[in-house]
Amino acid sequence: MRARGMEGDEEEVQSSKTRIFTNKIHKAATTQSVITLSDYVQDLTVDIIGEVVMGYDFRAQLTEDGYGEKGPKGVLTAMKMILGWMFNEEKALNPFHRFNFLRPIMLRYYSRIVDTRLAEIIDSRASTQKPLSATRSILNLALQTDDGPLNPRLRKNFISQVKSFVFAGEDTTSTTVQWIIYQISKRPHVLAKLRAEHNAVFGDRLVEEVLAERPQAALSGMVYTAAVIKETLRFNPPAGTARSAPKGSGFSVLVGGERMRLDGSMLFVNHHIIHKNEKYWGPTASEFIPERWFSPDIKDILAAGAYRPFERGPRACMGKELALIESKVILALICREFDFEKAGFDGVTQEEVYDVSPILPKSGFLPLPGSEPLFTGAVLWSRALRMM
């Protein structure tokens, strides 16, 4: 989605926040330090989402743990604690985890902190609205359309939507960026094409300057960059989706000629398997090839629903446009400045890393006939090698 009147603002915010990110990477590169990319990229995406959605600076990249929004009562700490206290199906057989009586209490406690803090930020923005031309966050644009004081119903809706952006966007976008860095670090020819495209679009000027002057033209010119992002989302989809079939609905699916009744079940769409199905993607389905996105056959593949990293239909991810712009801006700022290498698991390939921790079928899961074994991921550490 792109809110009307925001043209240029998103890119400017993202480039300024990403420059903080690249400065931190630069510091790590000068000392040849091994870094966990997730820590760096998650803080970056939180800062971008906060500014674009609410016009609020979480200062996640500049704040140490224990202070500000990362403090005991901070919204970022509370969100992290909520994720930590949520039920984890991988630990379902552990009775201490499955029947933890503290879980609902702690979830309510931290949810209250998040709601209270976001309400304070929203109320502050509502009471001190700047002219539309000065602040064009999604929240500000929404407030411009509301006559009179912020009513409780609209306020509650804002809080819910902001939580969706931060919770979903922070993890999925950061995961995507990490996988992009991994994929291009293993494929020098892809990185070379990215650098050539960025040289053509930005020349010897600062990326921030070009994005501030002509954001749409610059982003539209990053055609190969978009293909790399799409191929990474196909190859390493950062999230899945689940839908529930109500009990008594009689919902069923036809699998291999056999009718399976699934009412009362939670249905999970496995993007990893769909995105590598040779029926749609051909014999190169398991290969990382950004150029496939320039093939005339790609329209038929998309029409068949074989590519769905943001899902499809009315329940598709509302932050799709923001995530794609984020990824483009981040790549524009790092590809020509740094080389990265995977650190840890020396000599181990990506696929072998995925195979180190299999998820075995547990009570409540119904593997369909012919389904493939699923595997968890593993943390990949990175080292920024050199500045260009």
| Amino acid in position 68 | G
How many H-runs (helices) and E-runs (strands) does the chain carry?
16, 9
Q: What are phi and psi of 90, to 5 degrees?
A: -65, -20
Question: Both tokens of residue 188?
Answer: 């020098």
> What does the chain come to in residues?
388
Tokens 């602040």 found at = 135
Give the 3-state secondary structure percentages of the chain, helix then strand then coil, rounded to 5: 55, 10, 35
* Tokens matching residue 347: 């000599």
Do residues 225 and 332 touch, judged by C-beta distance below 8 A? yes
Q: Does 317 belong to an annotated binding site?
A: yes
The DSSP annotation for 281-338 comes to HGGGTTS--GGGGGSTTHHHHHHTT---TT--GGGS-TTHHHHHHHHHHHHHHHTTTE
Locate 126 and state its tokens.
């509502």
C-alpha span between 387 and 23 (Å, rounded): 11
Q: Are 229 and 327 in contact (CB under 8 A)?
A: yes
Helices (H), 186-297: 188-202, 207-213, 215-220, 223-235, 271-274, 278-281
DSSP conformational letter for 91:
G
Burial 189-226 (b: 16+ CB within 10 A, else e): ebbebbeebbeebbeeeebbebbbeebeebbebbebbb
Query: Which of 49, 85, 260 lies closest to 171 in space, CA to CA?
Result: 49
Name the 3-class secondary structure at 93: coil
Which residues participate in the annotated binding site for heme? 317
Binding site: what residues are annotated? Answer: 317
